Amino acid sequence: MAAGDKRSDASSDGEAVLEVDHVSKAYELEGVTVHALSDVSLQVRRGEMVSIMGPSGSGKSTLMHIIGLLDHPTSGQVVIEGEDVGRLTPNQLAQLRNRRIGFVFQAFNLLPRTSALANVELPLVYSGVSGANRARLAREALERVGLGNRLGHSSNQLSGGQQQRVAIARALVTEPSIVLADEPTGNLDSRSGIEVMAILQQLNAEGITVVLVTHDPNVARHAQRVVEIADGRIVREEPVKDRRSAADELANLPNAARVAAEEAPAT
Amino acid sequence: MNLLESFRVALRALAANKARSFLTMLGVIIGVAAVILLVSIGSGVQASITSQIEGLGSNLLFVFPGQLEGAGGPGGGGGLTKRFALEDVRLLRDRLQGVSFVAPAASGAATVRFENKTTKAQIVASDENLSQVGTYKLARGRWYRRSEVDGSARVVQLGSAVAEKLFPFTDPIGKEVTVNGQRFKVIATMQKIGGGFGGSQDTIVYMPVTTAQRLSGSSDLAEIIVKVTRAEDVDQVRAQIKRLLKPKFGDEFTVFSQEQTLSLLGNLLGTLTVMLAGIAGISLLVGGIGIMNIMLVSVTERTREIGIRKAVGARTYDILSQFIIAAVMLSVAGGLLGILIGAGGAAALKSVVPTEVTWWSVALAFFFAAAVGVFFGAYPAYRASRLDPIVALRYE
């Protein structure tokens, strides 16, 4: 696939990894046209951590699906790494998802009865990385999220927080342009949630672009910038003034809670 | 994703549901085993009958009354006007050149009785030359003699099944039985012939033709058997027979050679074998539908997994190949097991029925099974590959 020209955005400090340009999405639901997104424009720069925040039904899931190349906009353009994805076939989109996007879902979405290592290897399987390399890359990704000692555990032997960390490792392993995290803490107890946020912040500090989709203002404040969305439109877009640091919060939690969280069963 | 990966994914999915995979395979196993077993019986019987007929010697001619069209086969002459009689045998015997013997053959139904036991049997009646035909072998005793043919002697030879039925514990030779109410002396028992169609060869009783004619009150013969001395004279003798019988019978008779009998039976049994294979093929088809059914269930069950795979980059082709390969694995593994069971069953049955495992039935069954896997796996795989990842990921 053509790499495309890497456009740099003069008005910001980094080049744009993702550009959403006047995107609208409408669909028919029982004869009524629903406008899930109306004229949404958004830019994400390389190395940024952005939250897309809004209540349920605001259109943030639709926006996430469009950014994640799982859905087509009705009108407007989506450009990833300078490449307009509008005219790509489903198979080309699958390849682009594989290379450019790393997904972290609320419900983890790991393969059941499959080891952590095999789950993390999955995107590499589809990008054609050979066996030995695959295992090595997957192991490295799991080590980055602190699961180097859980490689052989299958997903149902892991706690919710651990499962989400496996999912993050899976999102990382292809070195994508964007890690797209959809309510990553939604199914977790508060401590595991903070741990997951700490990992995302840590990865962002290492240079990975993170787009966080959430309804929770407290979670959204882990990012550098919050894009607020309501009724399919962007209503506010501003930098976070007092950005939360999950690592600091983790350090301030009492130890007893830590033990309880570690032993919490998977949800 | 390369093909090897698709295989691993498919294998893991099948291994996760071992019992279900096995039961799905069972349909194919039974289908393939049935094809191989039934075809092996068909060809085994065919081979055994062929060799029996070949055992008669290659230079026998059979003359039947009635005109038989091509491969219409004997016994098709419904509206016969003229039957052979012993005088026609005598005519051929006196006038034919280059023949070893000319023998009459008549047949009929009989009820054979000894003390309080009775059994049904077919009568084969001829003269002393029948002993030279070769398929009919004595177990004990002796063939009826020429003098007994001339004198319409009431002597009978019992087929092995008749002998076993009437004389389970005693030696039948020298005993008196009644055949259709007339008293006969048993002079011999025959070797077991077995097999064949309906096993009827062992329920025959043999007697002189003259005796049979008296018993039935009819002088008609079923056929005349001519043994040509030298094989190369068969066509020439056939021409002689036609010439000799023409004045009396016109074209209302047929001369059948060994070769024709063989090809006729070959056709008949071949058709039967194909029919058996067809019936077994139906069960293979049912097995295929079982595969389709279970693959559809599996696609539904794994909707979420398909969504995950698509989200992380699986293309349509990757999902398609994963499910088709799973279906083909089931059918091919079932096919291989079916071949083992079918061939094993054929070997085990050999003592009861003649069986012969033919390579074409093995190849046919196996490739049919594999094709069934591709065909019935294709639709579920197509459905899986077309799932919308957003919908699939939300699926509970």
| Res. B128: pLDDT tops 60 | yes
- The whole-chain average pLDDT of chain A stands at 87
Per-residue pLDDT tens digits for A149-185: 989 999 889 999 999 999 999 999 999 999 999 999 9
B178 pLDDT tier (thresholds 50, 70, 90)? very high
Please name the member of A65, A111, A123 whose beta carbon is closest to the beta carbon of B313. A123
Let me know: does A257 contact A190? Beta carbons within 8 Å. Answer: no
Q: What length is written for chain B?
A: 396
Q: Which residues of B138-172 are buried (b: 16+ CB within 10 A; e: fewer)?
A: eeebebbbeebbeebbbbbbbbbbbbebbbeeeeb
Chain B hits for A141, Cβ within 8 Å: none
- pLDDT band, residue A265 (cuts 50/70/90): low
Q: What is the pLDDT of residue A133?
A: 92
- Structure confidence by residue, pLDDT tens digits, B325-366: 999 999 999 999 999 999 999 999 888 888 888 888 899 888
A63 vs A82: CA distance, rounded Å: 19
Q: What is the mean pLDDT of residues A234-248?
A: 92
Q: Which residues of A touch B5 (CB under 8 A)?
A: 125
A105–B393 C-beta distance less than 8 A: yes
- Is B315's CB within 8 Å of A95's CB? yes
Task: Report the pLDDT value the prediction gives residue B79, as an integer from 0 to 100.
Answer: 53
For Cα atoms A254, A259, A260, give the angle at the middle one, nearest 5 degrees.
Answer: 95
Query: Per CATH, is A16-263 categorized as 3.40.50.300?
Result: yes
CA of B396 to nearest chain A CA: how many angstroms apart?
11
Percentage of residues in chain A having pLDDT higher than 70 = 90
Q: Where are the alpha helices (DSSP H) in chain B?
A: 3-16, 18-55, 86-95, 146-150, 160-166, 209-216, 234-249, 258-301, 303-311, 316-349, 359-385, 389-394
B306 CA to chain A: closest CA distance, Å? 10
Mean pLDDT of the region B112-124: 90
Confidence of residue B1 (pLDDT cuts 50, 70, 90): low
C-alpha distance from B314 to closest chain A C-alpha (Å) = 6
Q: Mutate which of B1, B305, B312, B321 to test chain A, going by most A C-beta atoms within 10 A?
A: B312
The shortest CB-CB distance from A122 to any of B16, B312, B390 is to B312
Distance from CA of B14 to the nearest CA of A (A): 13
Distance set, CA B383 to CA A126, A143, B1, B386 (Å): 20, 37, 19, 5
Q: Pick the residue from chain A with its C-alpha nearest to B308.
A: A109
Contact residues, chain B to chain A, C-beta under 8 Å: 1-2, 5, 16, 304-305, 307-318, 389-390, 393
Return d(Cα A76, Cα A111) in angstroms, integer.
34
Q: Is the pLDDT of residue B143 over 80?
A: yes
Which residue in the set B1, B308, B389 is minimally distant from A125, CB to CB? B1
A91 contacts B393? CB cut-off 8 A: no
> Is residue B26 packed enough to be buried (19+ CB in 10 Å), middle (13-18) or exposed (0-12)?
middle
What's CA B189's distance to the chain center, in Å?
A: 27
Give per-residue pLDDT as tens, A195-213: 999 999 999 999 999 999 9
User: Is the pLDDT confidence value at B255 over 80?
Assistant: yes
Separation of alpha carbons B309 and B50, rounded Å: 60
Among A91, A111, A123, beta carbon nearest to B315: A91
- A contacts of B395 (beta carbons < 8 Å): none
> Where is pLDDT greater, at B31 or B258?
B31
Q: What pLDDT was estimated at residue A2?
A: 43
Q: Which of A95, A125, A127, A177 to mutate to test the interface with B (most CBs of B within 10 A)?
A: A125
Q: What is the rounded CA–CA span in Å between residue A47 and residue A1? A: 23
d(CA B322, CA B1): 10
pLDDT digit string, tens, across residues A136-147: 999 999 999 999
ipTM value, please give it. Answer: 0.87
Q: Does pTM top 0.90 for this prediction?
A: no
The proportion of chain B whose per-residue pLDDT surpasses 70, expressed as a percent, equals: 93
Q: Do residue B390 and residue A110 have CB atoms under 8 angstroms apart?
A: no
Q: Which is it for the CA torsion B331, B336, B339, B341, positive or negative? A: negative
pLDDT at A255: 65
**Separation between Cα atoms, residue B376 and residue B381, nearest integer Å:** 9
Q: Distance between CA atoms of B227 and B245, rounded to whole angstroms?
A: 17
Q: B83: pLDDT confidence band, cut at 50, 70 and 90?
A: confident
Looking at residue A9, what is its pLDDT?
40
Count of beta carbons in the 10 Å neighbourhood of residue B115: 11
Quick one: tokens of A157?
A: 């032997």
Segment A1-34, tens digit of pLDDT: 444 444 334 344 578 899 999 999 998 888 888 8
A19 is written with which tokens?
């550009």
Q: Which residues of B touch A97 (CB under 8 A)?
A: 311-313
Whether residues B311 and A71 touch (CB distance < 8 A) is answered with no
The rounded mean pLDDT for chain B is 86
What is the spatial distance between Cα A40 and Cα A233, in angstroms, rounded to a whole number? Answer: 6
CA distances from A250 to A201, A216, A225, A247, B260 (A): 13, 19, 22, 5, 97
Q: Chain B: nearest CA to A124, how far in angstroms?
A: 9
Asked whether A43 and A12 are in contact (CB, 8 A), the reply is: yes
Instruction: Give pLDDT, residue A105.
Output: 92
Nearest-by-Cβ selection for B314 from A94, A109, A110: A94
Greater model confidence, B256 or A115: A115
